[in-house]
Amino acid sequence: MSSKSRLVSINNLFLIFSVINLMVSVLVMALIAHQQTPQGQNSILYAVNIQQLHSLVLLILSLLLIWYRLKIIVIASFFFVIGIIFFSINIYLSDIFNIRFFSGLTPLGGLSLIVGWLTFLIFSLCLLIKRDIRELGKKLN
């Protein structure tokens, strides 16, 4: 498998994962609207918000991967995927299904989301620096 086709396959997985996550977040919101007490809803709603935000970021990264085909985008995407699973999904397991076995991974999910944002920032800064270098080169010519 060529490097280009491998990136396309990975990109498709990120796209599917983010769409499924957005769908799951809507289902969870519907579930808690009908079954949870107001006190129990707070942490679940927070997890839903985190899941939705980072699923949308994952969609954006999927689009960026089509244009730039850079490994740093894949790395940021992996951190967001791991963060969504460890953070939001663990809160759902704990607060909805009372499964607390994996709850120790929730802070790692938050850390993974932060590292995902840092990686996305590094990518953005690299684009800015590259653009500035190109513009400087044009001015010198």
CB count within 10 Å of CB 47 equals 25
Helix (H, G, I), strand (E, B) or coil at 51: helix
The model scores a pTM over 0.75: yes
Print the domain residue range for 63: 3-140
96-138 pLDDT, tens digit per residue, is 888 999 889 999 999 999 999 999 999 999 888 887 656 656 6
67-88 pLDDT tens trace: 888 899 999 999 999 999 999 9
Split into its structural domains, the chain has a count of 1
For helices 38-68 and 3-35, give the axis angle rounded to 10 degrees: 160
Q: ∠ CA(45), CA(47), CA(51), 5° rounding?
A: 115
